[in-house]
Structure 1
Amino acid sequence: MRKLSGIIGIVFVLVFPGIVMAHAGLTIAYPNFYPFFIQKGDGKMTGFFYEIISEALDKRIGVAVHWRPMPWKRCQEEVRAGRYDAMVTVPTPERLTYCQTHEDPFYIKKMTLFTYAGHPDLDRIRTIGSVRDIKAMGYCVVTYSGNGWHNKHISSLGIPSWETSEVHNVWKMLAARRGDLVIEWPPGARLGMEKAGVTDKIIDTGITLESMPFHLMIHNGSGYTRILKRFNRTINDMAGDGTMTDILGAYGITSF
């Protein structure tokens, strides 16, 4: 009987790792994507999303946070299945079927249009003012797997896309002219291009198409949904007392 109980316990830990850790804190599934959040070689975490969440939950609310890295598509699958408590992302109707969130975004990410250097239609691309213009002009957009914003605003309109499983690879694909455009957040794009070694092959058009509000989203079945109202008050306090500005400034970001 003890042996059977032990086997059942091991299976439960493997299938529901987030639930097993629930007594010890909130477990967040996240993709390694600097400067938002990333685990360095020494195991330490960094990134401004990481610092904002840690300041609010660990330091101010008193909830320990455990970070679990995995590809973004899997993050969503694991949280949807209830195997981890939470993720940091943009609320969508589909995500809100299995998660709860707070009222105010803790960061608004502007989505800007990029193309490759030497694009024969560069002057025409610079006239784009909306996503529908991209469709009308017949351009192809490069993205990464699990990009909810892309699925909602680009794929849903039937705009052709190329997709990669790793976020930073979008810049290699664009530089290789596998598509015409990438729509991304400039500070993250700059770092992604540097990592891919293609900075001199990409052009930032300066055209902002959309803004993405980021939230902490917690699975409906997690006991930590109870902290969401307090989390909302805390992030607003952090904005008011200068903490947000200090955290973002350390990463060269001047607005939130």
Structure 2
Amino acid sequence: MSRADRAGSSGTRYIDNHSLSAGHAMRPFPPGWRKAALCLALLSLSALARASLPTTVKICEGEEEWPPFTYFSRVNGKAGTEVTGFSVDFVKLLLAKKGIAATIDMIPWKRCQQEVADGRYDMLLNATENEERERLYWVSDAYYQLTGIAFYASSRTPPRLDKLEDLRRYKICGIRGYTYDNYGLSVGQVDQGSANVAMAMGKLLLDRCDLFLNNREIMAGMHAIGAEDYLRDPHFAYLKVPGLHPPRFHMMISRKPPYALELKTLIDKGIRDMEKSGVAERLRKRYLE
């Protein structure tokens, strides 16, 4: 039972006919009084639900960084202590509209997930949805997705990609430890000898690979923390991969706090409002493009 449910009838006012003085006729209630009383009751319950939310929401994210969504701001090319990014600005603006502050701690990603599940943090900002997470957390509505792209050397003829299966006609480069199942490719179909993006892009220039697969937003984020801006490098070009189901990202809200459902409701409504107002699109242009 929520706090609003407990507040049920305790504030309801009623008239006891026996308390009326003798000789005084009871005056009829004005038209529409029932509707007015119901509205007042609902407003009271709504206020109680809002009051149950904390003044500050505690958030954790992975210290490994997830640019351009969550990362440490750079000072002279070195990571500072301020946490910034698309997701950071998004959630802070969303909560601020309701007078709620946010603290964000960058801790190991695996530990962050566990501590949100245990209730030591209220939420985390960037995760895809699956059955396990649906069991552990309240999952918010999706608020961004990634765009799969295929890089190639601009000196070569552009690849022809009309459907997802066309990737199999080319020699694909990837990064060690990553999975490419969502591209319809098995481990054996991807050269994963590269330890990082720079090595994979170098293979394109050496004609050791035809294509290198990544996400446009992640590549933009790498540039935000000081890496090469491959999206604008004249030595490379890229195409959007057709037929790809883009991964959608959500906020994961702890089920432990008594205000958990109120927080989820606030977050979901805030996501819709940010989209309608154009604020979300402005943040995308700032961080993702």
Q: Could you tell me the TM-score, scaled by structure 1's length? A: 0.65
User: Tell me, what secondary structure is at the counterpart of 1:82?
Assistant: helix
Partner of 1:213: 248
Q: Which runs of 5+ in 1 are unaligned?
A: 1-21
Q: For 1:163 and 1:98, how far apart are their aligned partners in 2?
A: 35
Matched, 1:109 2:172: no
1:229 equivalenced with 2:265 (yes/no) = yes
In the alignment, structure 1 residue 247 sits paired with structure 2 residue 283: yes
Alignment partners' CA distance in 2, 1:126 and 1:224: 52
Deviates more, 1:176-185 or 1:230-239: 176-185
For residues 173 and 132 of structure 2, what CA distance do their matches in structure 1 show?
23
User: Is 1:27 paired with 2:67?
Assistant: no
Compared with structure 1, are the counterparts of its residues 142 and 161 closer, same or farther at alpha carbon in structure 2 (3 Å cutoff)? same
Tell me the distance in 2 between the aligned counterparts of 1:116 and 1:223. Answer: 54
Q: Runs of at least 4 residues of structure 1 off by over 6 A?
A: none
Alignment partners' CA distance in 2, 1:23 and 1:33: 27
1:38-57 equivalences under 5 Å are: 38-40=71-73, 41-57=79-95
Q: Which amino acid aligns with 1:35?
A: P
Shift of 1:214: 1.8
Q: Structure 1 residues 95, 144: closer, same or farther in 2, change over 3 A? A: farther
The aligned runs of 1:95-244 (5 Å cut-off) are 95-102=133-140, 104-118=141-155, 122-123=157-158, 125-130=159-164, 132-135=165-168, 137=169, 139-143=171-175, 145=177, 150-154=180-184, 159-162=189-192, 169-177=196-204, 179-190=209-220, 192=222, 195-196=227-228, 199-208=233-242, 209-221=244-256, 225-226=260-261, 227-244=263-280
Structure 2 SS opposite 1:210: coil
Distance apart, 1:154 and its partner CA? 4.5
Gaps of 5+ in 2: 1-53, 74-78
Give how far 1:88 is off.
Answer: 0.7
Query: CA distance change for structure 1 residues 235 and 96 in 2, over 3 Å: closer, same or farther?
Result: same
CA distance in structure 1 between the partners assigned to 2:258 and 2:191 by the alignment: 39
Determine the structure 2 residue equivalent to 1:9: none
Partners in 2 of 1:214 and 1:146 — Cα distance? Answer: 18
Q: Which has the higher helix share?
A: 1
- SS of the equivalent of 1:35 reads coil
- After superposition, give the CA deviation of every residue in 1:172-230 in whole Å (9 maximum; x if it has no partner): 32323465433333354245367136534432124443323221123555667421122
* Aligned residue pairs, count: 216
Give the AA of the match of 1:246: R
Cα shift at 1:53: 1.5
Deviation at 1:237, TM superposition (A): 1.0
Deviation, structure 1 residue 39: 0.9
